[in-house]
Chains A and B, each alone.
Chain A
Amino acid sequence: SAVISQKPSRDICQRGTSLTIQCQVDSQVTMMFWYRQQPGQSLTLIATANQGSEATYESGFVIDKFPISRPNLTFSTLTVSNMSPEDSSIYLCSVLTGGLGYTFGSGTRLTVV
Chain B
Amino acid sequence: TQLLEQSPQFLSIQEGENLTVYCNSSSVFSSLQWYRQEPGEGPVLLVTVVTGGEVKKLKRLTFQFGDARKDSSLHITAAQPGDTGLYLCAGDFQGAQKLVFGQGTRLTINP
Q: State the A residues within 8 Å of B (CB).
A: 1, 4, 6, 9, 31, 33, 41-45, 48, 92, 94, 96-97, 100-107, 109
Contact = CB atoms under 8 A, between A and B. Distances in A.
Interface stretch (B11-19, B67-75, B76-84, B96-104): B96-104
Contacts of B24: none
A45 B40 CA distance: 19
Contacts of B40: 9, 106-107, 109
A42 B88 contact: yes
B48 A101 contact: yes
29 contacts: A4-B42, A6-B42, A31-B97, A33-B99, A42-B88, A42-B103, A42-B104, A43-B88, A43-B90, A43-B99, A43-B101, A45-B98, A45-B99, A48-B97, A48-B98, A92-B43, A97-B45, A101-B33, A101-B45, A101-B48, A102-B33, A102-B45, A102-B99, A103-B45, A104-B43, A104-B44, A106-B40, A107-B41, A109-B40
Interface of B: 6, 33, 40-45, 48, 88, 90, 97-104
Nearest to A93: B42
Contacts of A107: 40-42
